Structure 1
Amino acid sequence: MNTKTNETRQHILDVGYELILSKGFTAVGLSELLKTAEVPKGSFYHYFKSKEHFGEVLIASYFEGYLARLDTLLNEAEGTGYERLMGYFRRWLEVDAGRCNAHKCLVVKLGAEVSDLSEPMRDALHQGAIQITATIARCIDAGIEDGSITEQDSTTTANVVYQQWLGASLLSKLSQNTQQLEFALAATQSLLKR
């Protein structure tokens, strides 16, 4: 694809991301997406076979960016494994402030909504979550190796931690405060230093 083509495709994804983040996948119609993005219907179908395919590509694009940022935070930054991991979750708490955040909310927003509607979108979300927990597990392993995290099964711990943060994010959206995220932070600290 040439630069102009990539820019148009990315523009549709960016506009769609913002719409879906605020309204959900099923509530955003194709005509609303096209009007907001200011692109003709033909342009959409040049890049995406269907709205479902668009959703699948959107999710994959989201995880690509998220995982690159996560890898930098957890595996390339300075500090012990524990410090890097807790820094990541503190940012989650601080940036989130009880509301949906562009760096993590798509999983919470779409997880339940599309899992029963679209197998390809469900699988894209699932594969992204697997990659996130694998990245967290690598950081836990680094922390075990440097002595900052108590020795434990890093894969199981990564899954438990990620699940508790997703659940806390959902509950924070419901309550519109950070209390559940603060509980998740304390539980994560306890789990890593037990």
Structure 2
Amino acid sequence: MNKRTQDTRDHLLATGAAIMLGKGFAAVGLTEILSTAGVPKGSFYHYFESKEGYGVALLQRYFDDYLAEVDRLLANREFNGRAKLDAYFDAWQPHGEEGELATSRCLAVKLSGEVCDLSADMRTTLQRGMAQAVERLAAFILIGRADGSVPQGGDAGQLAAALYQLWLGAALASKVQHSTQPYAAARLATAALLDPRSN
């Protein structure tokens, strides 16, 4: 794939991601994506084999970018393990006005409930990306246990999965309620899971 083709493909993915964060996957047609991106109609299949294939590429691009950010936090030598965890969970929380909660900033949160029944390939991409996120979260926990900022405990992978699912649920509940309260509850539950002795 030459650079011009790759650039156009990336532009279509970025454009579609921005639209789908507001509308979801099924409600967005190819014509809207192409028109917004300024790409000629009829050229979509030059870049993607189908809308489903586009969705897979969209999610893969999202997770590549997301995991790269998490890896930068993982490599940060200024933070101990607990500080890395706090920074990770801070990034889940909205930082704008209350009304902005209607639009998720996370493509995985936005599409997970919708596309899993529509596309096995998109579901697999989501599953793989989320599993990779949980692996990073487990690494934060192990770093914290090694430096003493997180108490010793059970299996780090299981704890990481529970925390990820907790925050995924908080993000979905926040959208339903148009409130930051689910994030506050997730914070309290996270502290209890990381250090049950403090309860």
The residue correspondences of 1:47-126 to structure 2 (distance < 5 A) are 47-95=47-95, 99=101, 100-102=103-105, 105-126=106-127
Shift of 1:68: 0.3
Shift of 1:74: 3.1
Q: Equivalents in 1 of 2:72, 2:95: separation in Å?
A: 17
Q: Which of 168, 174, 183 does residue 181 from structure 1 map onto?
A: 183
Q: Deviations over 1:40-81 (max 9, x none)?
A: 234321110000000000000000000000111234352110
Identity %: 46
Shift of 1:107: 1.4
Residue type at the aligned position of 2:71 = D
Residue type at the aligned position of 1:36 = T
Q: How many residues align?
A: 192
Q: Equivalents in 2 of 1:82, 1:97: separation in Å?
A: 28
Shift of 1:169: 0.4
Change (3 A) 1:94 1:54: closer
Q: Equivalents in 1 of 2:22, 2:59: separation in Å?
A: 15
User: After the TM superposition, which of the residue ranges 18-27 and 38-47 deviates more from structure 2?
Assistant: 38-47
2:145 match: 144
Shift of 1:37: 1.1
> 1:17 aligned to 2:14?
no
Counterpart contact for 2:104–2:175, Cα < 8 Å: no
User: After the TM superposition, which of the residue ranges 91-100 and 1-10 deviates more from structure 2?
Assistant: 91-100
Q: Equivalents in 1 of 2:96, 2:168: separation in Å?
A: 12
Task: Return the TM-score normalized by structure 2.
Answer: 0.91
Question: What stretches of structure 1 of length at least 5 have no aligned partner?
Answer: none
Q: Equivalents in 1 of 2:144, 2:169: separation in Å?
A: 24
Structure 1 runs (4+) deviating above 4 angstroms are: none
Residue type at the aligned position of 2:161 = N
Task: Return the TM-score normalized by structure 1.
Answer: 0.93
Q: Any idea what SS the aligned residue of 2:91 has?
A: helix
Q: Equivalents in 1 of 2:5, 2:144: separation in Å?
A: 43
Shift of 1:97: 6.2
Counterpart contact for 1:78–1:84, Cα < 8 Å: no
